[in-house]
A and B are shown apart, each in its own frame.
Chain A
């Protein structure tokens, strides 16, 4: 069976959940191989983590030479791994960086690129949601090795013990790939909440908060959710841009999306339309988002959310 390369998403060797989702999807297409680009010293720890989710092989690529450079070196690493392994597909998380790595890789290996898949079936048939959720599209790569970026929460990770055989891979990186560099980096302040793009539950606030996110945040915390914001809330200066959900902010694809005080402009819908379950709380019963919801409450979020938070806390005991 052909290998399927899965690029490991991690922070300093701590593997993130979307990687396990990708490994689960990879098993439908072939034999999952994890590609870890990071500190060689963390290879064993990563292998231990990914082999529990079906990774038969773990390619460890020491990033000492390329750390701090942008996506071009990673695309070269993958190009060389594709040449070595002739995989059935390459799966990468659909983050901004993941999509750019995939873009460069697809041109390098003259292969079809599909982004933002919400499902991938045997044979590499992907499912995507387009036009603000009004259409579902099935697509596949018709040339080369399919390069597919997959949104977080597109599969439930399935634990499956595998060999996880570690193989060091020495890639040759061109100087040309090392011409854009991270000069300074200010890590996001840890909020104690899950990361917006990966969270299983997202609670977002909009214009209807009036700038007071207290009840949105408390409700989010009761559900273990990430907090997001609409563009209106960001443009009003109530939340930084990193919170923005929508076409020009972050795209989220959670199990549950709760929109509080958000009317649901098409740009916002484009950023959250693939959520499995959608809930809205809004005073305005004409808000377009109510057309999309599985459950809606017409009411003041500053009354509904605190009461709901209290009830959830009570249920949790």
Chain B
């Protein structure tokens, strides 16, 4: 059984993030890391493997991104993934979700016949949360998304999730695309042994040409959407802040709400 877990290297959300003059995200000078939400995906991929003890299961960590993105793959290897794939190509810079999903889908196909592709619920930078569905569409696979509980048995997968209007149990048959939320269970820390073992694990690097993708299909120029303008939010006109003394806070609050016609 082949499991691919997709991991993204993202700018640190607590750092000061900016746009470049071409309206792409400035990734230089901002520390990056494995997207926190993808750690849950790695964890669930490893748990599927561990719960199916006795089966031959390979967990491949896949990242698409600049040179530093290999750090995200390494972290997954340290946590316990068996091998890593890094798609690295200058042509990819500025790719939108559609192009990114194309690269991921082609990379998954290159890894081999895959049974399960696991994602975090969204990246912590762009945060659209659409790439899992796009990859599923490109691979012609069903998707079961936003799982808080994942169970597999034979070729059946069942997940539990908090849907928009209901808590649902979703069933699907492998192969499929899965995404998991931060409710799915704490991600493990790499052990010292894991960190040492990761150094010996296979890690391949592919260019878009290796994946059979024309460089013109990816990158900023090929994007199906274009950011026309970015503007830093004007410094907020400092809101009024009052200290509550002898109930004055409540009165001021109610007056504010009434002035804005919320009452």
Residues of A within 8 A of B253 (CB): 279, 281, 295, 297, 304, 308
- The answer to whether B224 touches A141, judged by C-beta atoms less than 8 angstroms apart, is yes
Bound-state CA distance A248–B143 (Å) is: 19
Which residue of the partner chain, among B101, B172, B183, contacts A179 with CB atoms under 8 Å?
B172
Give the interface segment out of A19-27, A57-65, A93-101, A156-164: A93-101
B residues contacting the other copy or chain, number (CB 8 A): 80
Across-interface contacts of B244 in A (CB, < 8 A)? 297-300, 303-304
Interface positions, chain A 115-167, Cβ under 8 Å from B, are: 115-116, 125, 130-144
CB pair B257 A223 closer than 8 Å = yes
Residues 230-263 of B contacting A (Cβ, < 8 Å): 230-233, 236, 239-244, 247, 249-254, 256-258, 260, 262-263
Q: How far is the CB of B164 from chain A (nearest CB, A)?
A: 5
Number of A-B contacts (CB under 8 A): 251
Flag the segment in A36-44, A47-55, A185-193, A206-214 that touches B. A185-193
Residues from chain A with a CB closer than 8 A to the CB of B52 are none
B240 touches A296 (CB 8 A): yes
Q: Of residues 31 to 50 in B, which have CB atoms within 8 Å of A's CB atoms?
A: 37
Does B28 interact with chain A (Cβ within 8 Å)?
Answer: no
Q: Is A82's beta carbon under 8 Å from chain B? A: no
Check A252 for interface membership: any CB of B closer than 8 A: no
Is B171 engaged at the interface, CB distance under 8 Å to the other chain? yes
Distance between A257 CB and nearest chain B CB, rounded to angstroms: 11
Q: Are A138 and B170 in contact (CB under 8 A)?
A: no
Q: Contact mask B114-143 → A, CB, 8 Å, 1/0?
A: 000000011010111111111011101011
Please tell me if the beta carbons of B158 and A183 are within 8 angstroms of each other in the complex.
yes
How far apart are the CA atoms of A108 and B140 in the complex, in Å? 11
Interface residue A114 (Cβ < 8 Å from any Cβ of B): yes
Binds A, one of B54-62, B80-88, B144-152, B201-209: B144-152
Contact B249 A182 (CB under 8 A): no
Contact B249 A304 (CB under 8 A): yes
B98 touches A100 (CB 8 A): no
Contacting pair A133 B233 (CB below 8 A): yes
Q: Are A140 and B252 in contact (CB under 8 A)?
A: no
Contact A296 B239 (CB under 8 A): yes
Query: Is A197 within 8 A of B97, CB to CB?
Result: no
Q: How far is the CA of A152 from the CA of B236 in the complex (A)?
A: 23
Is A277 on the interface with B (CB-CB < 8 A)?
yes
Contacts A96-B164, A182-B170, A183-B170; A299 near B124 (Cβ below 8 A): no
* B250 with A104: CB separation less than 8 A: no
Is B21 part of the binding interface, using a Cβ–Cβ cutoff of 8 Å? no
Whose C-beta in chain B lies nearest to the C-beta of A197?
A: B164
Chain A, 168-203, CB within 8 A of any chain B CB: 176, 179-188, 195, 197, 201
Which residues from chain B contact A184 at a C-beta distance below 8 Å? 168-169
> Which residues, 137 to 191 on B, are CB-close (under 8 Å) to A?
137-138, 140, 142-146, 148, 158, 162-173, 176, 181-183
Interface check A35, CB cutoff 8 A: no
CB distance from A286 to the nearest CB of B (A): 12
Contact (Cβ within 8 A) A142 B225: yes
Stretch of B1-9, B12-20, B65-73 with 4 or more beta carbons under 8 angstroms from chain A: B12-20
Cβ-defined partner of A247 (8 Å) among B124, B162, B258? B124
- Chain B: minimal CB distance from A267 (Å): 8
Q: How far is the CB of A15 from chain B (nearest CB, A)?
A: 14
Cα of A241 to Cα of B140 in the assembled complex, Å: 31
Q: Please, which residue of chain A has its CB at the minimum distance from the CB of B124? A: A247
Can you list 27 contacts pairing A with B, beta carbon distance less than 8 Å?
Answer: A11-B165, A70-B142, A70-B144, A72-B143, A96-B129, A97-B164, A100-B145, A103-B97, A104-B134, A106-B98, A112-B225, A113-B225, A115-B129, A183-B170, A184-B169, A223-B262, A223-B263, A242-B162, A248-B121, A277-B260, A278-B239, A285-B243, A293-B239, A295-B240, A295-B241, A303-B247, A307-B250
Please give the residue numbers on chain A whose beta carbons come within 8 Å of chain B beta carbons, in ascending order: 11, 70-72, 75, 95-97, 99-100, 102-104, 106-108, 110-116, 125, 130-144, 176, 179-188, 195, 197, 201, 223, 240-242, 247-248, 255-256, 266-267, 270, 277-279, 281, 285, 290-300, 303-305, 307-308, 311-312, 315-316
Across the A-B interface, the 4 shortest Cβ-Cβ residue pairs: A299-B244, A307-B250, A112-B224, A103-B133
Instruction: Give 16 new A-B contacts, CB below 8 A, not counting A133-B233, A292-B239.
Output: A95-B164, A103-B130, A104-B137, A115-B128, A125-B228, A136-B230, A137-B23, A140-B225, A141-B225, A180-B142, A182-B170, A183-B171, A247-B124, A295-B253, A303-B247, A312-B263
